[in-house]
A = this chain, B = another copy of it.
Amino acid sequence: MEPITKFELSQEFHDRFQRALNEHDKKFISSSLEEVNPADITTLLYEFNSEESKYVLDMLSVATRAQIINDLDTETRKSFLSIYSATELSEIINQLESDDAADILNELPIKTSEEIIGNLDSDLKSQVIDLLRYDEHVAGGLMAKELIRVRATWTVVECIDEIRKQAETVGKFYTAWVVDEKDKLLGMVPLQKLIISDPKTLVKDICEDDVMPVETYMEEREVAEIMRKYDLESVPVVNVQGQLVGRITIDDVVDVISDQAEEERQLMSGITEDVEEDDTLLKNVRARLPWLLIGIFGGMLSARFMGFFEHELTKITAIAFFVPLIQATGGNVGIQSSGLVVQSLANPGYLEEGMAQRLMKVFYVALLNALLLSLIVLASTSLFFNNNRLSVVVSFALFCVVMFSSFVGTITPILINRLGFNPALASGPFITTASDLLGLTIYFLTVHVLL
C-alpha cells in the first residue's frame, strides 16, 4: 500500500484529455479514469463543459456517477444537471442517501423534481418528501433519515441482527440509536461497545443516555458549534415530540464550517456573488461592481463635501495633504474593530448582556490608540511640515477619527447581526466606506473650527 499520491491535474493531462473528448476516444478516457477516486474525477469535471462532463460520467457506473454529482458545488451542479432528463436524474438520485437526494432536488426546477420524486424507490421517496419540508440551513435540512434504530429491551444479538438488516441502506454508521416503542429517543450505543459486549446483554444496560439531541429547527451554525464544542461525530435529530427523526454526521458539519468561512471571506472582500476566478467574465464583473459603485458614490459625496471647504483649501493647500492619512486610519480602525466583534459573534458563548462593559473596554482601547497615534502624528507633522497650527488640527482630527471609527466599527456588526444578516458584511467595504465619510467629516469640521 502506497501513501496517497494526490491526483495532480497537469496541463498536459488536461490537454490530452480534451483531445480524447473531442475525438470521443472512449478507450483513453475510461483507462485514464480507472483507479481514480470519484472525488478526483469531480475536480476534473470543473475543467470541462457540461456536455463533455456528461459524456465522461455516462461511461461510469451509476453509483460513481451519483457520488460525483453529489460532490459538485451547488452552482456547477445546477447548470450541469439541466442537460439531464428527469429519468436519468431519477436513476442517479436513487443511489443517494436521503439528505443528499433532498439537497439536489431542492436545486432543481419544481416540475423536474416532482417528476423525479415520483420515480424514486418507495423508502427513499417518503424520506425525501419528509426532508423537503425543512429549510436547508436548519438541522432538519442537514440531517439524513437513514440510521440504525434499536429498542432498549433488545439483546445485543437482536441488535446485531437488526444492523445486518439495515446495513444495506444506511451507509457509514458508528452508532445505534436507542428508542422506545413510540420512537422517543432514549440514548445510544456506540458500535465499539456493542462489539465487546456479551451477546445476551440487554441494550438498556449498555445504553449511554447522555446524548445531546438537537431539534429539527435548530440553525445549522448552532449544530456545527455544538458538535465542535462537545466533540461529537454524530448527533440525533428529534422533533418536538422527542421522536428520533434523523441524524447529522460530522462530515456535513465540516462542509457547513468551510462554507461559512468562504461566505465570510467573500463578505469581507466586498464580493457580492459566490464567484471564482475561473467563472465567466460577466459573472466576475457582476460580483465586483456593487461595492465598487457604492465606493464611487461615497467618493463623489466626499468630493461634494470637500467642495464646501474650497475657501479653506485655497487658503492653505496643505489641508488636502492629510486627507489620505485621516481616511486610511479611519478605515483601518473600523476594520479592526468590526473584525473583533465578528469574531466574538461567531463564538456562541458570547454575552449580549455585557454590552455596556464591552463598550467601555472598546472605549479605553480606542483612547489609548488614539492618544499614541495622534502624538506620533503631531511630532512627525511638526517635524516635516512647517505649520504648527495645522499639525495640531491634523492630530486632533486623527484622535477623533480613531475614537469614532472604533465606536462605529464595534456597533455596526452588532446591529447587522440583530437585523438577521451575517455580521461579516460589516467587516468589508461597508465599514471602509462609512469610515471614509466619517473621517472626512470630522477632519473638515475640525479644520473649519480650529484653523
Contact = CB atoms under 8 A, between A and B. Distances in A.
Given A1-B209, A250-B254, A335-B428, 4 more contacts: A268-B269, A271-B339, A299-B329, A303-B385
A110 interface: no
A195 B163 contact: yes
User: Looking at A172, A174, A187, A328, which has the most chain B CB atoms within 10 Å of its CB?
Assistant: A328
A276 interface: yes
Task: List 8 tightest A-B contacts by C-beta distance, closest first.
Answer: A269-B339, A299-B325, A320-B320, A302-B324, A261-B261, A303-B321, A4-B212, A191-B191
A373 B297 CA distance: 11
A429 B332 contact: yes
Judged by DSSP, the binding face of A is: helix
Given A185-B1, A261-B257, A302-B324, A233 B212 contact: no
B4 A269 contact: no
28 contacts: A1-B242, A4-B212, A39-B231, A164-B196, A167-B196, A172-B192, A174-B174, A191-B192, A194-B195, A228-B254, A250-B250, A262-B343, A265-B268, A265-B343, A266-B339, A268-B339, A269-B427, A270-B336, A277-B340, A281-B368, A285-B368, A288-B365, A292-B369, A298-B328, A302-B321, A303-B381, A303-B385, A323-B324
A343 B303 contact: no
B277 A3 contact: no
Nearest to A213: B3
Given A195-B160, A242-B3, A317 B310 contact: yes
B361 A281 contact: yes
A436 B328 contact: yes
A358 B277 contact: yes
Given A39-B229, A250-B254, A365 B191 contact: no
Interface residues of A, number: 138
Given A163-B192, A192-B191, A313 B324 contact: no
A11, A195, A209, A314 interface centre (most CB from chain B within 10 Å): A195
A376 B291 CA distance: 14
Interface in A292-332: 292-293, 295-296, 298-300, 302-304, 306-307, 310, 313-314, 317-318, 320-329, 331-332
Contacts of A320: 306, 313, 317, 320, 323
Copies per complex of this chain: 2
Contact of A233 (B194, B251, B368): B251
Nearest to A165: B196
A99 to B, nearest CB: 13
Contacts of A10: 353
B299 A328 contact: yes
A270 B364 contact: no
A187 B288 contact: no
Interface in A358-394: 358, 361-362, 364-365, 368-369, 372-373, 376-377, 380-381, 384-385
A79 interface: no
Contacts of A211: 1
Nearest to A275: B340
A32 interface: no
Contact of A329 (B292, B364, B384): B292
A240 to B, nearest CB: 9
